[in-house]
Amino acid sequence: MFVHLEAPRRVVVTGMGIACPLGLGVENVWKRMLAGESGLAAIQSFDVSNLPAKIAGQVPVGTKAEGKLDINEWIPVKDQKKMDRFIQLALVAAQEAVEDSGWMPGPDQEEERCRTGVMIGSGIGGLPTIYEASLLIAQGKQRRISPFFIPSALINLASGHVSIKYGFKGPNHAVVTACATGVHALGDAARLIALGDADVMVAGGAEAAVAEIGMAGFCASRALSTAFNDAPTKGSRPWDKDRDGFVMGEGAGVVVLEELEHAKARGAKIYAEVIGYGMSGDAYHITAPTEDGDGAFRAMRAALRSAGLSPAEIQYVNAHGTSTPMGDDLELQAVERLWGDEAKNLAMSSTKSAIGHLLGAAGAVEGIFSILAIRDSVAPPTLNLESPSRESPIDRVALEAQPRKIDIALSNSFGFGGTNASIIFKKAA
């Protein structure tokens, strides 16, 4: 079956798009992040009086010109009811990424369209949509369930809608690995290109679980911060001694991945190359990481191996760093163990400090931040890291962005079920 494969091909990033709590648009979001701004706030869009966690990162409402989201500017009203919010956010980020890449083969370019695929995942998908339908059933109104209910809730419909919109007829796939979804989507899509299944892939993650049902569920699993309801921007504080859980975020990150020669041939702008990708499983617990952080360690080691790199060659790590009491230190420990004596030269930050945890979108958005860190030679800050719970030789870029020489960056994402993924980007040659 695989014996006819050619040597792996090189994969580069040629387009990027973001919708997140800091707003819309890669440049807008990045500028705000480097300035140390926070996208976290008290939840206003639904009643939180019965929830212990009352803060989140939501995509700000406003006009496109303000770098905010008015969904009517992006998706016709009649189509909005056919898709859960996570799909809407995926379409917004995908539009920016596709337009940024300039890769929009027309109806007369059938072969090019067939060589372009989509892989946008989500951690949970259309949870609010399922909730709404359940209410109707509880009232005995089964026949009032919308014909769009199922296609609105299905996770792979983000990929489906993007492919329909742009006519991309290549591999159409979706990743579902909880909070590791985004990295898996980027890594798996890059592999499809490397192995010849496609020349271009629109890849990423989308999530919109900041709703009563999503908040209540994560509250029940004791994962969310509850001590900073009166100071929302302080709630996400990776590695800080006062951290008490993650802050839910929503959004989408989408990139256009492209085979190197394909990108060069059309004169595309190349942001970075995807040079490494590694995965592992904990085989331990449904929600908790192993007590020695070994899963994270092995995912990073596998990514380094696939890139043919030693840890010393990486200057920046965008951490999973969700601001949970246990997870942050275990990841730190795993990085220290892998880097050894080189840890003192490494910068590692958690951008979740500014936007919260975007679950299935996190890895894609943070992959984009890693690429921008390379492009602009700057490590984005870990906000609220005022008093680390423990010391480390690693510079965790506390409070303010740092200019640093960054040619190669690694981004981590770990998910419930004990799934871990790491991806490595390198400055375009």
Q: Which positions are catalytic? A: 179
* CA 108 – CA 88 distance, rounded (Å): 27
Q: For tokens 């331990």, what's the residue?
A: 284
Residues numbered 51-80 forming contacts with other proteins, rule: CB under 8 A:
76-79
**Total residues belonging to the chain:** 429
In the chain, the amino acid numbered 73 is E
Q: Rg (Cα) of the chain, in Å, rounded?
A: 20
Q: Which two tokens stand for residue 237?
A: 């504080």
- The answer to whether the CB of 169 falls within 8 A of the CB of 116 is yes
Q: Is 345 left (phi over 0), alpha (psi -120 to 50) or beta?
A: alpha
Cβ atoms < 10 Å from Cβ of 380:
27
| CA nearest to 275, candidates 235, 303, 254 | 303
Shortest Cβ 143–other proteins spacing (Å): 8
Shortest Cβ 76–other proteins spacing (Å): 6
Shortest Cβ 222–other proteins spacing (Å): 40
* CA 350 – CA 211 distance, rounded (Å): 24
Shortest Cβ 79–other proteins spacing (Å): 8
* CA 20 – CA 24 distance, rounded (Å): 6
Classify residue 89 by burial, with Cβ atoms within 10 Å: 0-12, 13-18, 19+: buried
Q: Which two tokens stand for residue 257?
A: 């991945």
Count of residues engaged in binding other proteins, rule: CB under 8 A:
11
Shortest Cβ 147–other proteins spacing (Å): 4
| CA nearest to 60, candidates 116, 93, 19 | 19
Shortest Cβ 78–other proteins spacing (Å): 3
| CA nearest to 256, candidates 93, 379, 375 | 93
Residues numbered 77-106 forming contacts with other proteins, rule: CB under 8 A:
77-79, 82
Instruction: Give the Å distances, CA to CA, from 63 to 69, 96, 208, 370, 387.
Output: 6, 15, 19, 27, 38
In the chain, the amino acid numbered 346 is L
Tell me the per-residue interface mask from 347 to 386 with other proteins, x by CB under 8 A, - otherwise. Answer: ----------------------------------------
Q: Which is nearer to other proteins, 50 or 142 (by Cβ)?
A: 142
Q: Which two tokens stand for residue 386?
A: 């005022």
Parallel, antiparallel or unpaired: strands 11-20 and 23-24: antiparallel
Tell me the per-residue interface mask from 130 to 159 with other proteins, x by CB under 8 A, - otherwise. Answer: -------------xx-xxx--x--------
What residues have CB less than 8 Å from 295, skipping those under 6 apart? 280, 281, 282, 284, 289, 414, 418, 420
Binding site for other proteins (CB under 8 A): 76-79, 82, 143-144, 146-148, 151
